[in-house]
Amino acid sequence: MIWAIGIDDTDYHEGGCTTWQANQLHNILISCGAKSIQRRLVRLWPFAVRRTRGNAAIALIMDISSDIQNECINAINTWFTKLVNDLKNNDVAKHARPGLIICKHEQFDESVYWNCVKSEYTDINKIVNDPSVIHYLTSDLGDDGLIGAAASISWKPSPESTFEAIAWRHISKCGSPRNIPQNSTNILENLHPNTFMNRDPTYDRGLISPRTPCPVLFGIRGWNYVDTLNALQDMLKLDWNEDIVDYAIHISNQCSDDHLEGIIEATVLDIPIRNRGGHIDLNILTLSGVIKLISFKEGGILNRKIGELLPGDKIHVLGLISPEGELHVERLKRVFSSPGNLIRPNCSCGGHLKSTGKSAQLKCKLCKNIVSSYWLSSRRISHDWVEPPSSNRRHLSTPVIRM
């Protein structure tokens, strides 16, 4: 029988990592005689109240023959009990609330994924009572992890799904600096063009290694399995100044835009307000009514382009509505530009024309010539889609180059 095993909510501020824990369980099941089919890394709704560090859950798709199913269940229970005890000893803030769920492959209700990627989902009863569920585990810390675990087994990959290769360091190295080979990013960008988000050119900063105290040494994102594997093999040949304990490739919903409802067409209603810290907000009129658009300083060129908007501009927006009803913009396109920098013209004699008031005429201050009232404006050019720097994009957001 093919099992889908979902795991979530095992990380916390001082450490932990769901990809690492899932890899540990994967290897335990292999030692029991199970066969590995696929690993899935599934990002969830960015506004979830208890989202974890990477806001991702893991699903292991395993072939479990009938003669080892009881052994595998016992091994999973033992592994989970140890995980919970380790968290009680190390998670000072009691943030992690792990959950695990096993179901028959591709029989779990797919709507759970869509609810979890687009909104806050809390229906634990629906999860545990799904007829495809074989086994599930929670702890006295809480059952929140069941939600992400269920979402990971509910998600169905597509031909457009991306991949992420992850290499792990020894758990004792967590918290110590990573020695990232200087040529690693150049190798990926020059030899492996079908990988992405390796470097943020805006800040000239590599993105393949996290800066958090977790067991991940590096990660490589790719548009297909073969190119991701080739890139991983080249990275494994480099000197990381420490042992690479294990590695694996996951299929993922990253860059899918699954969290979005689609393009929002809108008209700008007022001048953008730049707040302390560089964040911008302004009101836009959509088919659903007036919405406040929020742009953060970290958006880079996206934030600058939003700061240049004027009332009357027509825009297309991709973004996420927050629980407060504000639109957090992820990409924006200006399709029509209203006139900008309106000024009165000069008279043919060179003097300045000034409005005469109610007569709707202009009068020259020098020669007293009178002409019909009009304005001059500077030409404002509309622009195509813009997005934040790669280090400040959501994992789920589709890059502009892939739209």
Q: Are 25 and 60 in contact (CB under 8 A)?
A: yes
- Burial class of residue 189, CB neighbours in 10 A (0-12, 13-18, 19+): middle
Q: Are 296 and 281 in contact (CB under 8 A)?
A: no
Fold of 264-338+380-402: OB fold (Dihydrolipoamide Acetyltransferase, E2P) (2.40.50)
**Strands of the 361-364 sheet, one edge to the other:** 353-355, 361-364, 370-372
Closest alpha carbon to 41 in 175, 219, 199, 200: 219
Spans of all domains in the chain: 2-252, 264-338+380-402, 340-378
One digit per residue, pLDDT tens: the chain, 403 residues? 999 999 999 988 777 899 999 999 999 999 999 999 999 999 999 998 877 667 899 999 999 999 999 999 999 999 999 999 998 888 777 788 999 999 998 889 999 999 999 999 999 999 999 999 999 999 888 888 999 999 999 999 999 999 999 999 998 888 888 999 989 999 999 999 999 998 877 777 788 998 888 899 999 999 999 999 999 999 999 999 999 999 999 999 999 999 999 999 999 999 999 988 889 999 999 999 999 999 999 999 999 999 999 999 999 999 999 999 999 999 999 999 888 777 778 888 878 888 877 667 888 888 888 888 877 767 788 899 999 998 889 999 999 999 8
Helices (DSSP H) in 39-156: which residue ranges? 69-90, 111-118, 124-128, 145-154
Measured between alpha carbons, how far is 323 from 109 in angstroms, rounded to an integer?
A: 25
Q: How do beta strands 246-252 and 35-43 pair?
A: parallel
Measured between alpha carbons, how far is 385 from 398 in angstroms, rounded to an integer?
A: 12
**Residue showing tokens 């406040």:** 292
| Lookup: tokens for 22 | 């899932």
Fold of 2-252: Alpha-Beta Plaits (3.30.70)
| Lookup: tokens for 336 | 């029509």
Instruction: Say whether 241 sits in a helix, a strand or coil.
Output: coil
Instruction: Say whether 257 sits in a helix, a strand or coil.
Output: coil
**Predicted TM-score (pTM) above 0.85:** yes
